[in-house]
């Protein structure tokens, strides 16, 4: 047997030589956790859920529908007890009609399409009035809410060439009108704090910014600071007390839940969704659970995963309901895409789950 071993044509073990270790660039370092833990399967949510933050339209693609097979998506929703999905891609005009026809009308109650506001028209004379007419028209067409994207405060300019902040009086007028029309406003302001910080070795999202350099807003000659933008976000919410707001991505400040909580306490018309922030919330799961417990009627379920999958819904249920520790928030990605860390679950108490999953969203959507 020994001689047979010696005749084995395979090379010796694939050990990396020490000299090569010194040459491995950081981008090729993909450490695999050696923590051995049992995985809790949470295949269904404690209550049927509404995904308040998703993208089903043609706006984030090359012009094709995000979802090719709507029936297959409905099958995933049925299997995972997803009562409804909010589609934030309705835009305005004919595109809004097309989204409503494809989703809301084909599967009544399962999809709710939000419109957007064409803020670029603020660069034209009479643009502010045109936007009031536009949002009224979108409500007539059947929009169920309004999505405001982060370009407001970062890129949108008015006639004078100045960047329009979220608390600009013209924005306040349009979103006050949204409230009068019964439309909740889901708003995304700024971006992760690290995207506003210097691009240096201390930046906690360097991996991600290296792959998407236009997500970096740290140039102070061009962009406001994170805190200035979030202050404007809060001022907008306070200036429109008759409009229900949903601060996207955990109030756009998942790294600063004290800030989020201050606005929740200040403004009864303010709510937040958890979409796209498992990485952030999963590194402070006890603080997150504390916020939900203090504001059980103000936090909404959402994923911002598009196209969403069966696996992602189960991962979200596991994150909210189990007490699992140290797991991947983006399974299958060689490098965690939103921060090089693992997450731990929030273990939310059962009594908090129906509100977060469904009831708070139902109230805001009027269903
Ligand atoms: Zn989104």
pLDDT tens digit sequence for 21-35: 888 888 888 888 999
pLDDT digits (tens, 9 = 90+) for 104-143: 999 999 999 999 999 999 999 999 999 999 999 999 999 9
- Measuring CA to CA, how many Å separate 159 from each of 120, 186, 294? 10, 26, 43
* pTM confidence score: 0.93
The phi and psi torsions of 300 (rounded to 5 degrees) equal -120, 145
- The whole-number pLDDT of residue 15 equals 55
Residue 331 Cα to ligand 1 middle (Å): 20
Strand partners, 271: 246
- The whole-number pLDDT of residue 18 equals 61
Residue 351 Cα to ligand 1 middle (Å): 28
Residue 175 Cα to ligand 1 middle (Å): 19
Q: How many CB atoms lie within 10 A of CB 164?
A: 21
Query: Which string of b and e fits 322-346 if b means at least 16 CB within 10 Å?
Result: bebeebebbeeeebbebbbebbbbb
- The whole-number pLDDT of residue 228 equals 98
- The whole-number pLDDT of residue 2 equals 34
Residue 10 Cα to ligand 1 middle (Å): 50
Residue 335 Cα to ligand 1 middle (Å): 21
Residue 98 Cα to ligand 1 middle (Å): 19
- The whole-number pLDDT of residue 4 equals 37
**SS3 assignment, position 228:** helix
Residue 53 Cα to ligand 1 middle (Å): 6
- The whole-number pLDDT of residue 17 equals 61
Residue 148 Cα to ligand 1 middle (Å): 10
- The whole-number pLDDT of residue 29 equals 87
Residues of the chain with pLDDT under 70: 1-19
């Amino acid at each position: 047997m020994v001689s047979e071993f010696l005749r084995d044509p395979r090379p010796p073990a694939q050990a990396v030589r020490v000299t090569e270790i010194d040459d491995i660039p950081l981008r090729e370092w993909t450490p695999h956790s050696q923590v051995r833990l049992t995985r809790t399967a949470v295949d269904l949510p404690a209550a049927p859920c509404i995904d308040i933050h998703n993208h089903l339209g043609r706006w984030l693609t090359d012009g094709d529908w995000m979802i090719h097979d709507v029936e297959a998506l409905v099958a995933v929703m049925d299997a995972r007890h997803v009562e409804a999905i909010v589609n934030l891609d309705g835009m305005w005009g004919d595109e809004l009609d097309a989204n409503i026809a494809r989703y809301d009308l084909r599967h009544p109650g399962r999809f709710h399409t939000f419109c957007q506001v064409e803020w670029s028209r603020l660069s034209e004379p009479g643009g502010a009035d045109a936007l009031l007419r536009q949002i009224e028209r979108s409500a007539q067409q059947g929009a169920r809410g309004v999505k405001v994207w982060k370009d407001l405060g970062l890129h949108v300019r008015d006639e004078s060439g100045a960047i329009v902040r979220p608390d600009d009086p013209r924005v306040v007028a349009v979103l006050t009108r949204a409230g009068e029309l019964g439309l909740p406003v889901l708003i995304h302001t700024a971006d992760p704090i690290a995207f506003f910080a210097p691009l240096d070795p201390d930046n906690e999202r360097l991996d991600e910014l290296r792959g998407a350099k236009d997500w970096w807003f740290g140039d102070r000659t061009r962009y406001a600071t994170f805190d200035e933008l979030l202050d404007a976000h809060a001022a907008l919410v306070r200036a429109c007390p008759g409009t229900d707001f949903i601060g996207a991505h955990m109030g756009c400040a998942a790294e600063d839940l004290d800030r989020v909580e201050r606005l929740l306490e200040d403004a009864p018309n303010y709510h937040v969704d958890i979409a796209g922030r498992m990485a952030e919330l999963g590194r402070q799961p006890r603080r997150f659970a504390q916020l939900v417990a203090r504001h059980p009627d103000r936090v909404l379920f959402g994923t911002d995963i598009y196209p969403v999958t069966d696996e992602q819904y189960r991962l979200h249920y596991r994150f909210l309901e189990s007490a699992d520790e140290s797991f991947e928030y983006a399974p299958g990605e060689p490098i965690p895409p939103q921060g090089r860390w693992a997450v731990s679950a929030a273990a939310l108490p059962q009594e908090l789950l129906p509100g977060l999953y469904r009831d708070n969203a139902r109230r805001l959507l009027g269903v």
